[in-house]
Amino acid sequence: KHFLARIERLNPTLNALITVTAEQALAAAQRADELLASGEAGALAGVPLIHKDIFCTDGVLTTCGSRMLANFVAPYDATIVEKLSQSGVVMLGKANMDEFAMGSSNETSYYGPVKNPWDLKKVPGGSSGGSAAAVAARLAPVATATDTGGSIRQPAALTGLTGLKPTYGRVSRYGMIAFASSLDQAGTLTYTAKDAALVLRDMAGFDPRDSTSVDTPVPDYVAALDQPLKGLKIGLLKEFFEGGLEESTAKLIREALQVYERLGAQLIEVSLPNLPLSVPTYYVVAPAECSSNLSRFDGVRFGYRCENPKDLVDLYKRSRGEGFGAEVKRRIMTGTYVLSAGYYDAYYLRAQKVRRLITDDFARAFQQVDVLMGPTSPTPAFDIGAKVDDPITMYLNDIYTIGANLAGLPALSIPCGSVGGLPVGLQIIGPHFAEAKLLNVAHGYQ
């Protein structure tokens, strides 16, 4: 009731939630109470949570931030929705997001921009901007989110939260609306690493309904939180201290690194020479996959359908033309272009090769160090409207986050101070399936 009251009071200003499921939440809370009383409750019994509107929720609107799905009520739950509700969470509603998770500022949503609770003129980051604003404004202690190129970590940094993107394959993608299937991964936005550990423990795991889900046991992330950090080898990514990093942000990152030194960690400079190619590589691979994934929205099977189509081709053209926003169309066109005969070798195949080089760079670095650290975002939150007309500048916001997605690595962002009242995030990247280590390292700082 406390959180529902905050949502009622603050959501009209923040625009963080697209749907509020108050009645279902009260019923679920009641059920959690009963299970707690009878001693049968799961670990997260009664924990209020908001799901990003990219996860299918049985009987509840799932829009993916798009006009295309403005009337779409999913007939089933995504695996993570099912798993978390089995653990007892109480869903309060569905979070606003960039349309089909394409964006870095939550300004591409059909449902309008989300405001950053720290300064209402600023963006909360994207694409999980609604999830981030909701948790930062204490509308819920936890929100789910997804990260294809930074969409958990960058909003976490811009709103002062802990944002965890697990290893590709750690969390099921079943029932999570696809953007770029080889990059998409679900994770959490929470206040602390400890909260993230609690939620990930019940969210992760093998799922036969996701062919890329990895069948490896889920460790007890909570039990590993208090390992001492003495002797930890931290790699400082040379390339992360370049690329438009603002000095005030760099200073806070250096201060956070000093905290780790005091905890007994050793700082080692490492270089990933191919990392500066990650943004152009991503903006070939991700649009290519999105152009294929989004071909299912044809006005026939589900979602938006135009009025009075003349014939089938008119139905396709107008349903897609009217249902998708500008950024989604830009991505579909780019993706179709890079996959087309004559350009495939020059763009798509080449991007896949560079992706391999970047992955190999990371593998080499992890032979030397336990984790890599650097900034999450080159700047704190920027003004709403400042970058909307300049897609390239917007894309460059992901310069530090995209590498982990291309290599499938787990990464998280934790708050490490603020500049002019706006939070700054420290990014920590680990080897595949090192979530327990990342959470331990983040918890040590917090």
**Token pair of 20, please?**
């509020």
- CB nearer ligand GLN, residue 54 or residue 371: 54
Q: Which of 127, 128, 291, 413 is catalytic?
A: 127
Minimum separation from the CB atom of position 159 to ligand GLN (A): 15
* Distance between CA atoms of residues 119 and 386, nearest Å: 14
SS3 440: helix
Minimum separation from the CB atom of position 54 to ligand GLN (A): 9
- CB nearer ligand GLN, residue 147 or residue 202: 147
CA atoms within 13 A on the CB side of 269: 6
127 belongs to the catalytic site: yes
Minimum separation from the CB atom of position 267 to ligand GLN (A): 28
* Distance between CA atoms of residues 377 and 380, nearest Å: 7
Strands of 183-337, DSSP E: 186-190, 233-237, 266-270
Minimum separation from the CB atom of position 176 to ligand GLN (A): 11
Torsional class of 160: left (φ above 0), alpha (ψ -120 to 50), beta (otherwise):
left
Judged by CB under 6 A, which stretch of 77-85, 147-155, 205-213, 428-436 contacts ligand GLN? 147-155
Q: Which of 52, 115, 122, 165 is catalytic?
A: 52
- CB nearer ligand GLN, residue 87 or residue 334: 334
Judged by CB under 6 A, which stretch of 141-149, 264-272, 311-319, 431-439 contacts ligand GLN? 141-149
Out of 57, 63, 144, 148, the residue judged to bind ligand GLN by CB under 6 A: 148
CA distances 167 to 99, 196, 283, Å, are: 24, 14, 21
- CB nearer ligand GLN, residue 179 or residue 366: 179
137 binds ligand GLN per the rule CB under 6 A: no
109 belongs to the catalytic site: no
Minimum separation from the CB atom of position 15 to ligand GLN (A): 19
Please, which of residues 158-197 interact with ligand GLN by CB under 6 A?
179
* Distance between CA atoms of residues 399 and 420, nearest Å: 23
Please, which of residues 88-117 interact with ligand GLN by CB under 6 A?
101-104
Give DSSP secondary structure letters for 240-267.
Answer: GG-SS--HHHHHHHHHHHHHHHHTT-EE
Out of 66, 127, 144, 376, the residue judged to bind ligand GLN by CB under 6 A: 127
| Count of chain residues binding ligand GLN (CB under 6 A) | 13
Minimum separation from the CB atom of position 183 to ligand GLN (A): 8
**Token pair of 342, please?**
């004559």
Question: From the CA atom positions of the chain, what is the Rg in Å?
Answer: 21
x/- letters, 392..421, toward ligand GLN (CB under 6 A): ------x-----------------------
147 binds ligand GLN per the rule CB under 6 A: yes
Please, which of residues 311-330 interact with ligand GLN by CB under 6 A?
none
DSSP 349: I
How buried is residue 249: exposed, middle or buried, by Cβ count under 10 Å (0-12/13-18/19+)? buried
Q: Which of 151, 278, 319, 413 is catalytic?
A: 151
x/- letters, 273..302, toward ligand GLN (CB under 6 A): -------------x----------------
Which residues have CB under 8 Å from 10's CB, separation 6+?
A: 117, 137, 139
Minimum separation from the CB atom of position 390 to ligand GLN (A): 13
Out of 93, 113, 149, 335, the residue judged to bind ligand GLN by CB under 6 A: 149
150 binds ligand GLN per the rule CB under 6 A: yes
Strands of 214-308, DSSP E: 233-237, 266-270
Beta partners for 186?
A: 146
How buried is residue 243: exposed, middle or buried, by Cβ count under 10 Å (0-12/13-18/19+)? middle
CA distances 154 to 128, 177, 425, Å, are: 9, 20, 8
Catalytic residue ranges: 52, 127, 151
List interacting residues with ligand GLN (CB under 6 A): 101-104, 127, 147-151, 179, 286, 398
